A and B are shown apart, each in its own frame.
Chain A
Amino acid sequence: MNERIFKRLYWEQVKNLTIANMKSRYRKTFAGFLWVVMSPILTYGVQSLVFKHFLKIDIQNYSLFLLGGLLPWIFITQSIEMCTPLFLTNRDLLLGFKINPLVILLSQILDNFFNFLFAFLLLLIPFWLILGDNIGGLPYLFFALINLILGLIGVAWLLSILQVFYRDTRFVLPFITNVALFLTPIFYPPEFVPENLRPIIEANPLYLLILPVRTCIYNFSSEMFLSQILWGSLVTIATLSLAYFYWGKKRNEFYIHL
């Protein structure tokens, strides 16, 4: 069987498992779907209110700025949280038959991605109607989102393997992501950080994945986007390579530890 057929078969498995995941998560109702997508929308609403009106952060179109950072951040952290224990929760399936673990991982990430996309577009459309051409980078959003999802696959793959070997990984992660939220320019711009600390803050790989998405909808410039997508792609290549290398090295022990 050639490689192309294998890829098609895997893709079909991913597609159908994503649909099944969604059915299971939404309890086959639209209300179930709303329940899942309301959480990031409410988080965004509350943060937007607090930082703009209570803390009076003085940035032009702050709500749009926050949308470009916070929703991708929620998508990343939620996906990491859900994907990290995924191989262990599916251990019977992975040990019972020969199934590529990536099929399970990809279907979970795709399920989360559709929720993110729905919430993101739902919030973006009013801005687009009001600001129109001022959101100049929308045609580039597709590339930024593809890079975001690929980078996330690398991170989630790595962490889900790590969880098989080190069972407290999933408990350490919320602490790290909570701390990282404050150290990442998500709800504040990088200019707020003292200049000598800025390179450290901006080196956060998750931030480098999010930044091109934000630039597409907020203060777009093609030179800036090009440089950001380049850095973002480097992060994606690094995380995917690292995960692939780690999987290859630990594959045998992975099955015995499951």
Chain B
Amino acid sequence: MNSISISEKHIASVRNLKLAYNLDYFEANNLRDFFVKGLKAPIDFLLKSKETYLAVDDVSLTINRGDRIGVLGHNGSGKTTLCRCLSGMLVPSDGTVETHGEVRPIFNTTISVLPELTGRENAQMLALLLFPEMTEVEREHLVKEGLDFAELGNFLDVPFKSYSRGMQARLCLSIITAKPCDLLILDEVFEGADQAFQKKISKRTLSLIEDSGAVVLVSHFPEHVEMSCNRVIIMEKSKIIFDGPVEEGVRIYRKMSSLSQI
């Protein structure tokens, strides 16, 4: 559901969400293996039941206007999959995901559209792909503001492929963080920029978080969550095991992390 309703209290509602992946594709990832497997044991190949992996298992969650949710959890706990379901990139195997208003997910901050083109041209393309609903004039204004913020000077007219990783992050982050939305999903976006730019972009990201209707922030670093969130979710083995205040959530997560290191 994508009906925009600014006064809507619930920005997203997830009910008994399950997301299962078919594991068969991990066994044969080329046509040759697929062909050999089919010829070697054709009956098994045709009739064998497919093995699945539950990446998100029976998750329920309501996101209200004003929520700034930090999602903590170890690798493979289902954080990114949950975010991709919220953004509509993945389709639930079971359960429902309903969102109201504009949802903008950001999972990477060093991306170009066409590396052979200049930084300026890539910024324009990125803005077009991220903010298609804006008019051309509005988008031009947004790009100009983003490019001024990136402080890349003459490098803006140099091909993006020749940028250092830090410069790529500068350009990309400056555009990404230029406009708030109803539900902002940020997956590990504090990483990537160089030290000098880190402070400036963190301030801008925090302001973006403040201005957006609700935010889901995935991070491995509890300090990022403490700095910008008012609610914490901890995921473990594809389930939500904690949903509550930041202080308590961070304390539990730190305890979990120290236990797993023993």
**Residues on A facing B (Cβ under 8 Å):** 1, 5, 9-10, 12-13, 16-17, 20-21, 23-24, 27, 92-93, 95-99, 103, 165-169, 172, 251-253, 255-257
Q: Once bound together, how far apart are the Cα atoms of A23 and B34, in whole Å?
A: 39
Q: Is the CB of A252 within 8 A of B129?
A: no
Q: Is the CB of B91 within 8 A of A12?
A: no
Q: Is the CB of A99 within 8 A of B117?
A: no
With a cutoff of 8 Å between Cβ atoms, the chain A residues found around residue B89 in the complex are: 98, 255
Q: Is the CB of B90 within 8 A of A251?
A: yes
Question: From B117, which residue of chain A is reached at the shortest CB distance?
Answer: A24
Q: Once bound together, how far apart are the Cα atoms of A139 and B91, in whole Å?
A: 44
Question: From B185, which residue of chain A is reached at the shortest CB distance?
Answer: A98
Question: Contacts A1-B133, A20-B125, A24-B117 known; A166 to B107 CB distance under 8 Å?
Answer: no
Contact of B90 among A9, A103, A252, A257 (CB under 8 A): A252
Question: From B2, which residue of chain A is reached at the shortest CB distance?
Answer: A1
B48 within 8 A of A: no
**Can you report 10 residue pairs joining A to B where beta carbons are below 8 Å apart?**
A16-B125, A20-B117, A23-B117, A24-B116, A24-B117, A27-B116, A95-B108, A97-B108, A98-B87, A256-B21
Q: Once bound together, how far apart are the Cα atoms of A256 and B20, in whole Å?
A: 11
Q: Once bound together, how far apart are the Cα atoms of A16 and B158, in whole Å?
A: 20
With a cutoff of 8 Å between Cβ atoms, the chain A residues found around residue B106 in the complex are: 96-97
With a cutoff of 8 Å between Cβ atoms, the chain A residues found around residue B133 in the complex are: 1, 5, 9
**Residues on B facing A (Cβ under 8 Å):** 2, 4, 19, 21-22, 25, 28-32, 34, 55, 84, 87-91, 93, 103-111, 113-114, 116-117, 121, 125, 128-130, 132-133
Question: Contacts A166-B31, A252-B21 known; A20 to B91 CB distance under 8 Å?
Answer: no
Question: From B87, which residue of chain A is reached at the shortest CB distance?
Answer: A98
Contact of B34 among A10, A95, A166 (CB under 8 A): A166
Shortest C-beta distance, A109 to chain B (Å), equals 16
Q: Is the CB of A13 within 8 A of B132?
A: yes
List the 7 closest A-B pairs by CB distance, nearest first: A96-B108, A9-B132, A168-B30, A24-B116, A166-B31, A24-B114, A96-B111
Shortest C-beta distance, B55 to chain A (Å), equals 8
Contact of A252 among B29, B91, B111 (CB under 8 A): B91
* Count of A-B residue pairs with CB < 8 Å: 90
Contact of B125 among A17, A172, A256 (CB under 8 A): A17
Q: Is the CB of B114 within 8 A of A20?
A: yes
Shortest C-beta distance, B215 to chain A (Å), equals 16
Shortest C-beta distance, B25 to chain A (Å), equals 5
With a cutoff of 8 Å between Cβ atoms, the chain A residues found around residue B84 in the complex are: 255
10 A-B pairs besides A95-B108, A99-B129 with CB distance below 8 A are: A13-B129, A20-B121, A27-B116, A93-B111, A96-B108, A97-B108, A165-B29, A168-B31, A252-B19, A255-B90
Shortest C-beta distance, B4 to chain A (Å), equals 7
Q: Is the CB of A253 within 8 A of B128?
A: no
Shortest C-beta distance, A71 to chain B (Å), equals 27
With a cutoff of 8 Å between Cβ atoms, the chain A residues found around residue B113 in the complex are: 17, 20, 93
Q: Is the CB of B25 within 8 A of A172?
A: no
Shortest C-beta distance, B162 to chain A (Å), equals 14
Q: Is the CB of B111 within 8 A of A253?
A: no
Shortest C-beta distance, B114 to chain A (Å), equals 5
With a cutoff of 8 Å between Cβ atoms, the chain A residues found around residue B2 in the complex are: 1
Question: From A169, which residue of chain B is reached at the shortest CB distance?
Answer: B31
Q: Once bound together, how far apart are the Cα atoms of A9 and B133, in whole Å?
A: 7
Question: From B103, which residue of chain A is reached at the shortest CB distance?
Answer: A98
With a cutoff of 8 Å between Cβ atoms, the chain A residues found around residue B132 in the complex are: 9-10, 12-13
Q: Is the CB of B21 within 8 A of A166?
A: no
With a cutoff of 8 Å between Cβ atoms, the chain A residues found around residue B108 in the complex are: 92, 95-97
Q: Is the CB of B25 within 8 A of A165?
A: yes
Q: Once bound together, how far apart are the Cα atoms of A165 and B19, in whole Å?
A: 19
Question: Contacts A95-B108, A96-B111 known; A1 to B4 CB distance under 8 Å?
Answer: yes
Q: Is the CB of B105 within 8 A of A253?
A: no
Contact of A95 among B103, B107, B109 (CB under 8 A): B107
Q: Once bound together, how far apart are the Cα atoms of A253 and B25, in whole Å?
A: 8
Shortest C-beta distance, A96 to chain B (Å), equals 3
